[in-house]
Structure 1
C-alpha cells in the first residue's frame, strides 16, 4: 500500500490536487460536496496512516472514537449538579492519551503504550478547545458529524494550524459566492508557491545543504578546543538552524492553509514575519500564531482566572508573571520530556517576564528613552538573537556538545 506523509514530495501534490478538483468545481458552482469531501478525507488518511504506518491508523481510529464519545458525553451532561467535576474530569481524560504518548519515551523498552500517531497533539488541542468552549457556553451545541469533520479536517491534521470550531463550522456550512471563491483560489495558489519556496528551496538550503556542515564543523571545533573557547561554528549553527526551523515549518503551514482555501475553508495563518518582532511578546504574536493563541486562551487566561478566583496572588503583575511561567513551562513539556525543551520553555518565560518589566519602565520614562528607526532596528536585532538562541536550546544540539 502507498504511504505518503503530508506535503512530503511532488507525487503527493499531484495526487492531492487531482483529488481536489471535484471539490473546487462544486464550490465554483455554489455547492459543497460533503459526501465527496468525507471520502476525500478518508482516502488521504489511508494514504497517511496506511501501509507501514497501519498501527498509527488504528491508534487514530481508537483516539477519534474516544474523543468524540468524550466530547458528546460532556455536551449532554455538562449542566448537571456536578458540572465542575465533570468538566475537570473530561478535560483530564481528553489530554490523557497525549500525556501517555509524551511520557512513553521515558520507558524505551516498554511498547505497551504505543498509542501515538502523527498529529495527536493538534487533535488534542482541538478537543480541549471544544470542551472548554462548551463549558463557557460560547459553543451552544455540537453534532458528532460536524465535530468529526472539524477534528479530522485533513489539510491541518498532522501539524496544524490549529483552527477554532466555531470559525471552521461557519466556513464549512457556508458556500462562498463565485467571486469570493475565485479570490480564495487565487490566494491559495499564491500560498502554495510560497510554501514551495519556503520548504523546498530555502528549507532545503538551510536544512540539507548548510545545517549538516555547520553542525559537523561545530562538533569538530568543540573537540579541537578541548571544551574551551568559543565555537564560532556553534554560532553559525544557531542561525542556520533557526532559519531552517522557520522556513520548513512556515512552508508546511502555507501548504495547509493553501489546501484549506482550495476547499473553501479559511484556515488561519500561522506565521507573520516573526523575525521582524520588536520584542519577545510581539514575537509570540507572530510565531506559530495558532498555537501561541491557543496557549494564551486555554492555559494563560484560564490559569489567571483560576488564581484570581482563589485569591492566591493579589498583585496583578506577579499574577501575570506566574501565568507566563506556567504557560511556557507547559509548552516546554508539550514539546517533549527532555531538559532542552523544558529549558526552552523556561527561557521564554523569563524573557517575556523581563520584557514586561522593560515595557512598563519604558512607558513610565517615555520622555527619557529615544524612539526612532535606529532604536527600532536595535530592538528587532536583539529580539532576533534572543529567539535564535532559544532555538539553539530547542534544537538539542547542545546536548551533543556537552554529553
Structure 2
C-alpha cells in the first residue's frame, strides 16, 4: 500500500491532473483489492437505482449503512481470516452521494479512490471539486504534507507498532494509541498530499487530538470526518426540551458509531461503554480543571485496554533501552507535529517553496528505494 501511495504521489506531482490521479487511484484499488472494487461497483449501481426510484430519509440511510458496516466488520474482519478492506469508508460516503445527481461511473471513481478509501477520511462530493488557486506555495505545502506522512509511516509507525506488539505492560495502551495515531495520521497526510498536488482537497482526519480537555473534545479532533458524519445524519432536535441534553446525545451517538463500526465483539462493546461512562464522569467534574486534566491523561492510559481486550501481564515495560528511546523520540515527534505544524507551516514554506519541494521529492525518492516495509495500515482492517 505504501508503494502504491508513493507512485500516486509521483503521478500527482508530475501531472497535477485531477482526472489522471483519480483514474490512477481507481486502477490501484482494482488491482490491489478487486473484491472491494467489485463490491463498490455493486453499491454504486444500487445507489443510482435507489436515488432514481425511491425516496429515503437520511436517518434511515445512515442506520442501514451502520448495520451493514457492523455486519461486515463482525464477520469479515482480520480475525476471521478474510476481510473486505475499505468497504466501511465507501459505505459511510454513500450517505452523502445517494441523493446527489452523479453518474454511476463517477460515483465508482470517487468511492474507490485509493488514497482515501481504505483508511478514510469520509469524503463529501464537494471535496473533489477543483481548487480555485494552485501556486508554488500550495504545491510546496502538499509536497511537504506527503513527505511528513511517509516519514510517520516508515519510521514512527514502524517503531510504535513493534513496541506495541512486543510489550504487554501497563503502558501497552499508550504504546497502542501512539501506534494507531501515527499509522492512521500517516495515511491521512499522504492522501491529503496526493489530492492537493492534483488540485483538489481531502479533509483532515485529525487536529491535535492529544491537546484536549476532555473525551468529547478528543473525539471531535480524532477521526474528524466520522464525528461530522454522526452530526450530519444523527441530528438532535433544536427544541428547548432537548437542547440541554444535546452534548450527551452527540457523544453517546458518536462513541456508539465508533464502537459498532469496528464490529460486534465484547471488547468493542466494552470500549463504547467505557467511553460513554468516562464522558458522564468528566461532565460531573468539569468545574475542577486540574482533576479533569488528570482524568484525561488517565483516559489515554486506559482506553486501549477496552478496545483491544488486553489484560497487562507486567507492571513495567519489557522493551529494550534502544526501543524505549526510539519510542520517546517518536512520541515527541508526534507532539511537536501537532503543536507546531499547523501554526508554523506557512512560515516554513514561505522561506523557499522550491527548496521545500526539492527536499520532499528527494526524501520520497530515497524512501521508495531503501525502505524496509510496505505493510497494511492499521485502520484498513476496518
TM-score, L = length of structure 2: 0.70
* 8 A Cα contact 1:184 1:264, kept in partner: no
* Structure-2 change in CA distance of 1:399 and 1:143 (3 Å): farther
Matches within 5 A, 1:10-159: 11-24=3-16, 26=17, 32=18, 34=19, 36-37=20-21, 39-49=23-33, 57-61=34-38, 63-78=39-54, 83-84=55-56, 97-104=68-75, 116-131=83-98, 134=99, 141-159=101-119
* 8 A Cα contact 1:74 1:87, kept in partner: no
Question: Which residue of structure 2 lines up, in the alignment, with residue 340 of structure 1?
Answer: 267
Question: Which residue of structure 2 lines up, in the alignment, with residue 54 of structure 1?
Answer: none
- Answer with 348-357 or 332-341: which moved more: 348-357
How many angstroms apart in 2 are the aligned matches of 1:237 and 1:346?
A: 20
> Which ranges of structure 1 fall in alignment gaps of 5 or more residues?
1-5, 27-31, 50-56, 216-232, 363-368
* 8 A Cα contact 2:29 2:37, kept in partner: no
What is the root-mean-square deviation of aligned Cα atoms in Å?
A: 3.3
How many angstroms apart in 2 are the aligned matches of 1:87 and 1:239?
A: 37
> Which ranges of structure 2 fall in alignment gaps of 5 or more residues?
315-382
SS of the residue 1:397 aligns to = coil
How many angstroms apart in 2 are the aligned matches of 1:324 and 1:17?
A: 36
How many angstroms apart in 1 are the aligned matches of 2:166 and 2:35?
A: 39
How many angstroms apart in 2 are the aligned matches of 1:93 and 1:350?
A: 26
Query: 1:305-353, CA deviations, whole angstroms, 9 ceiling, x for partnerless residues?
Result: 4xx89xxx95544565355434422321211221111111121122223
SS of the residue 2:195 aligns to = helix
Count of residues in Structure 1 that have an aligned counterpart in Structure 2? 313
* 8 A Cα contact 2:13 2:197, kept in partner: no
Question: Which residue of structure 1 lines up, in the alignment, with residue 281 of structure 2?
Answer: 354
* 8 A Cα contact 1:188 1:259, kept in partner: yes
* Structure-2 change in CA distance of 1:94 and 1:258 (3 Å): same
1:384 corresponds, among 258, 279, 297, to 297
SS of the residue 1:271 aligns to = coil
Matches within 5 A, 1:2-401: 6-7=1-2, 11-24=3-16, 26=17, 32=18, 34=19, 36-37=20-21, 39-49=23-33, 57-61=34-38, 63-78=39-54, 83-84=55-56, 97-104=68-75, 116-131=83-98, 134=99, 141-165=101-125, 167-169=126-128, 171=129, 174=130, 176-179=132-135, 182-208=136-162, 210-215=163-168, 233=169, 235-299=170-234, 301=235, 304-305=236-237, 314-318=241-245, 321-322=248-249, 324-359=251-286, 362=287, 375=290, 379-398=292-311
Query: 1:374-403, CA deviations, whole angstroms, 9 ceiling, x for partnerless residues?
Result: x4xx644531321331122112323999xx
* Structure-2 change in CA distance of 1:280 and 1:70 (3 Å): same
* 8 A Cα contact 1:260 1:266, kept in partner: yes
How many angstroms apart in 2 are the aligned matches of 1:40 and 1:331?
A: 31
Could you tell me how far 1:286 is from its partner in structure 2? 1.4
SS of the residue 1:278 aligns to = coil
Could you tell me how far 1:285 is from its partner in structure 2? 1.8
SS of the residue 2:204 aligns to = coil
Of structures 1 and 2, the one scoring higher in RCO (CA 8 A, sep 6+) is: 2
* Structure-2 change in CA distance of 1:186 and 1:75 (3 Å): same
Bigger Cα Rg:
1
* Structure-2 change in CA distance of 1:399 and 1:102 (3 Å): farther
* 8 A Cα contact 2:58 2:233, kept in partner: no
* Structure-2 change in CA distance of 1:16 and 1:317 (3 Å): same
How many angstroms apart in 1 are the aligned matches of 2:292 and 2:148?
A: 28
How many angstroms apart in 2 are the aligned matches of 1:343 and 1:96?
A: 19
